[in-house]
Amino acid sequence: MAIRINKYLSEVGYCSRRVADRLIEEGKVTINGEIPEIGTKVNEGDQVEVEGHILEKSIKKKVYLAFNKPVGIICTTDRRVEPDNIIDFINYPTRIFPIGRLDKKSEGLIFLTNDGDIVNKILRSRNNHEKEYIVSVNRYIDKDFIQRMSNGVKILDTITKKCFIEQLGPRKFKVILTQGLNRQIRRMCETLGYKVKSLKRIRIMNINLDLPVGKYREFRNEEIMELNRLLECSSKTFE
């Protein structure tokens, strides 16, 4: 049965559909030696190559990993970013890619997978999936800071969604977001005159951080079942 080339790249565990579309647009993908258009379908027996590398035709077993990313590791699949890229650091035996990002200065929970479909469902902000962080800043937090952060802050030409904020100490707070703008927490704090000193993600949806720094584990069966339930009505459509 023929399937779209971006879906094929996702199902063989090469990358997400969004990344696949970018690779196709850049002319880095071929089917039987020809550069396809977005939407071109792959038939059984076709030879698919990405940047000159022939892909395996069999669909791989789905891999879902939880990883406690250390500070200093970059969430990229570009292995030229050595030795700081997440793929070389984990050194997993099959090809995987991160779901979303944590910037280089941040640490904590990030998912890695070879399942391109699940990536889009988790990342779409309209799906309102929670991500929880513990943040320390450079000066004392007051009620005004908590109120303004929770009600939304203007960054990147938009107002952030309302979010849950709880003060944990004089300079520490917990925040639960349902969107993932670029460096969102750091930008929100900077807008209010604060500088983030440390940022750790401790939860994504139903999965909590329970690993030492630099270690990973596979999702537990009950976590996958609950994750699938939470994602059941989620959109995969790009915003």
Catalytic sites, residue numbers: 103
Q: Where are the beta strands (DSSP E) in the chain?
A: 3-4, 29-31, 41-42, 48-50, 53-54, 64-69, 97-99, 107-113, 131-137, 154-155, 158-159, 164-169, 172-177, 196-204, 207-208, 216-218
User: Which DSSP string corresponds to 52-98?
Assistant: TEEPPSSPPPP-EEEEEEPTT-B----TTSTTTBHHHHH--SS--EE
Q: What is residue 137's three-state secondary structure?
A: strand
What is the spatial distance between Cα 230 and Cα 42, in angstroms, rounded to a whole number?
A: 31
